[in-house]
Amino acid sequence: MTNPRQLAFIALRDVHKGAYADVALDRVLQKVSLPDCDRRLVTELVYGSVRRQRTLDTLIDQLAKKKSHQQPQDLRTIIHLGFYQLRYQERIPASAAVNTTVQLAKENGFSGLTGFVNGLLRQYLRKAGGDGGAGGDEGAGGAGEERSRGESLSSSSPSSSSSPHTDPLQLPENPVERLGILHSFPDWIIQVWLEQLGLTDTEKLCKWMNQSPTIDLRINLLRTSVEEVEAALQSAGVLVRRIPYLPQALRFIGNTGSIQKLPGFKEGWWTVQDASAQLVGHLLDPQPGEVVIDACAAPGGKTTHIAELMRDKGKIWACDRTPSRLRKLQENSQRLNLQSIQIYTGDSRHLNQFQNTADRVLLDAPCSGLGTMHRHADARWRQTPASVRELSVLQQELITHTSTFVKPGGVLVYATCTLHPVENEEVISAFLAESPDWQIESPSGVELPDSTDSTPQGWFKLWPHRQDMDGFFMVRLRKTNNCE
């Protein structure tokens, strides 16, 4: 079975039963051999339908007699696929989106409801004022970021007469709900962003988070050079560009095919790591010969970066409580030919043997991941205000204990890939209030991207819509010499 839409339906059915979107997608794709364009289409349909779930449900609520939650789950999933193609995939002709969705209904136990599916999708098209500008080659759908029909209509009110097309999606006046429905986020996430950014920037961030993610490389300068990797990739027909402020970084432009088959992967010339995560290593600024502890190390992207920055001289203790994730770290360090990393399995909240042993500690804390939702399609639906509060307790415990690993005069860097103040500013403020022997150190010597949100307090945030990289919070803390 190689029908991309049927494969997407199977993966989405697993997601709605509780599977992670990336796991469900991999499970489906591993069972079939598909051309690259079809793999991209399956990927786009699965991740896109999960990301846009709230918007797609709202369309069902507004256009069907029964609300989305009253529909049979599999039928709801099929309708999501149809609406997703009509609203967000300009390269897929409207007729193809409708016909293939009707066929999906017929083949998956809903033969008696094909008329309903057909009518619902055509009602959307009528309200949109025709085919919504659909056109192009159906097989090209999903090659890259979402190409939205709906979003281009929605910056003005749905009844705006300035456009030949009308958005069938009716939006409330309340800005939290309006942004939440239009861009498909829970209201509480929109609220957190609005409080920090205001309306205009929040809308820009919403749009950024709904793009397909880019892939960045970190070049292992102990094995090769940026120029050599650029040339090798170019000869393989893969386009890359450099990223300002990051001496080891390249970003893919366009499609790459299988990452593991690209030149230099097996040789350990590079590893995949987002630009924001690379900045964390530079903020830590580890030096050759030092003892460094990575307190929550797996799967090891930052650990291996620390080893490269130290020229693989010194000792890095890579601690994590999850053996399976540490195996990934071990594989990566072997592929990159790094010798300075020592793996330790254990919860860093309960390790006492490292007290006052480290020149530097990295606490890349477990977090809600709200800065990387473009990479994790279902994260916005899995996290809640309660789960964020639980994580902040864990983060407080971790920083309180791992700070004891640092020698007097040493450095601790706290980093997360979330943009929630409860996990970031509030954790650091509480720690400093209880720890008079610690102070924030400004990130001197580290080049930061333009418009980085650096505060008077000395911590800083990377906002994806401004820096075009994952959302991160980072702060460098110094332990004073006069502590007991």
Tens-digit pLDDT profile for residues 417-451: 999 999 999 999 999 999 999 999 987 666 666 65
* Cis, peptide link before residue 299, omega less than 30° from 0: yes
What is the rounded CA–CA span in Å between residue 370 and residue 471?
A: 8
Question: One of 37, 367, 417, 483 is an active-site residue; which one?
Answer: 417
CB atoms within 10 A of CB 480: 12
Per-residue pLDDT for 148 more than 70? Answer: no
Summarize the confidence of residues 138-161 as an average pLDDT.
39
Q: Considering the entire predicted model, what is its pTM?
A: 0.89
Find, among 240, 223, 219, the residue nearest to 231 by Cα.
240
CB of 210 closer than 8 Å to CB of 154: no
What one-character DSSP code corresponds to residue 165?
A: S
Is the pLDDT at 163 greater than 50? The verdict is no
* pLDDT of 454 higher than 90: no
Reported as a single tens digit per residue, the pLDDT across 22-75 is 999 999 999 999 988 899 999 999 999 999 999 999 999 999 999 999 999 999
Cβ(406)–Cβ(356) below 8 Å: yes
In the chain, % of residues over pLDDT 70:
89
Say yes or no to pLDDT of 409 above 50: yes
Q: Is 319 a catalytic residue?
A: no
Query: Three-state SS for 159?
Result: coil
Give residue 55's identity as a one-letter amino acid code: T
pLDDT at 255: 80
Q: Please give the mean pLDDT across all residues of the chain.
A: 90
Burial class, 241, CB count within 10 angstroms (exposed 0-12 / middle 13-18 / buried 19+) = exposed
In the prediction, which pLDDT does 371 show? 96
Query: In the structure, what pLDDT confidence band is assigned to residue 136 with cuts at 50, 70 and 90?
Result: very low
> What are the tens digits of pLDDT across the range 268-327?
999 999 999 999 999 999 999 999 999 999 999 999 999 999 999 999 999 999 898 899
In the three-class reduction of DSSP (H, G, I as helix; E, B as strand; rest coil), residue 353 is classed as coil
